[in-house]
Structure 1
Amino acid sequence: MVTRSGHCMCGAVTFTATDVSSEFGACYCEMCRRWNGDRFVGVHVPIAAMQINGANQISTHKSSDWAARSFCKACGSNLWYRLTDGPDAGNYSVALGLFDDVSGMKLAREFFVDRKDCLFDLPEGRIQMTTAEINAKYGLSEEAP
């Protein structure tokens, strides 16, 4: 367990999380897919382990009888998923892409795997471009985001 920091796309919401596991999960349920346009990939963080700055920029949507999802009001970045009932109520499942550093982390759990479909396939022979190739193609003078 380590301490990791992160932020939304615009930086209006920042956080520091302690006791962050090196294992993360992926959820393929319809709500996560619609919320992210893909699966939701997140890491569990206990409620007491989260220090959040910019709370006034967070909006939360109760997405079901048992969960809520939060996003940044300024840039729209999805932030986290939280159970509202049961033994893990209040704890965070923080979107993995928000962390400044995800080195050493690994996929350990998948939820609703019976709902995985072609959206989640990474077929052989697909086009893969590096940062340098993207910069050259679009004439970017600095590293792409």
Structure 2
Amino acid sequence: MSDKKLLNGRCLCGAVTVSVQSDDPRLRACHCDMCRRHTSAMFMSVDADPATLTVEGPAQSYVSSDWAERGFCGTCGSTLWYGTTHDGVRHLAAGLFDDAAGGRLTLEFFSDRCPTGYALAGDHRRLSTEETIEMFTEADATDD
């Protein structure tokens, strides 16, 4: 029997709906320049099982770099996901889900790029730009 919880979410206008399973909907925040430009703040995502993801409606994506895409609703423009193009994994926006899926913040990427006007409270892991890039570089090396 699975301990995974079904999470159902939607964009602002409701045209795009998503469902995914997660056994622990942890939240992650990214302060990189692209995430901030895409969302006007940090990008908050919910950790979920990518194999269980279903997306319905006018979802579109923009390839924003050699390794990533940004998903959005084709009707209202709501942010839907940050996706890695090498494996097709989509990291879903926390705002799609009521109460951010009840998740708890566990990780910040590019924490040293967090604007001085806001900061996230709590006891969670904070990775600097160097640490974030190192982590993703190591992940790419293990995918080969």
The interval holding the TM-score normalised by the smaller chain is 0.7 to 0.9
Q: Under a length normalisation based on structure 1, what TM-score does the superposition of the two structures give? A: 0.74
Q: Write the letter of the residue equivalent to 2:60.
A: S
* Unaligned segments of structure 2, at least 5 residues: 121-144
Find the residue that maps to 2:14 and give its secondary structure.
coil
Aligned partner (choices 18, 27, 44) of residue 30 of structure 2: 27
Summarize the Cα distance change of 1:92–1:21 in structure 2 as closer, same or farther, 3 Å threshold: farther
Is the contact made by 2:22 and 2:47 (CA closer than 8 Å) also made in structure 1?
A: no
User: Which of 28-37 and 110-119 deviates more?
Assistant: 110-119
Alignment of 1:119-138 (within 5 A): 119-121=117-119
Verify the 8 A CA contact 1:20 1:43 in the aligned structure 2: no
> Equivalent residue for 1:11?
14
CA deviation map 1:37-61 (0-9, x unaligned) = 000000133331101211xx11110
Percent same amino acid among aligned pairs? 41
Q: Confirm whether residue 98 of structure 1 aligns to residue 99 of structure 2.
A: no
Equivalent residues, number? 117
Q: Counterparts of 1:93 and 1:107 in 2: how far apart (Å)?
A: 14
Is the contact between residue 46 and residue 101 of structure 2 (CA under 8 Å) also seen in structure 1?
Answer: no
2:69 matches 1:68: yes
Mapped to 2, the partners of 1:19 and 1:121 lie a distance apart of 27
What secondary structure does 2:60 align onto? strand
Q: Please report the RMSD computed on the Cα atoms of aligned residues, expressed in angstroms.
A: 1.7
Contiguous gaps of at least 5 residues in structure 1: 123-145
Q: CA deviation at 1:121?
A: 3.7
Q: Give the superposition deviation at 1:91.
A: 1.5
Distance between the aligned counterparts of 1:15 and 1:106, measured in 2? Answer: 20
| C-alpha contact 2:20 2:50 (8 A) present in aligned 1 | no
In structure 1, how many angstroms separate the alpha carbons of the residues matched to 2:101 and 2:19?
16
Whose radius of gyration is greater, 1 or 2? 1
**Partner of residue 117 from structure 1, selected from 115, 118, 121:** 115
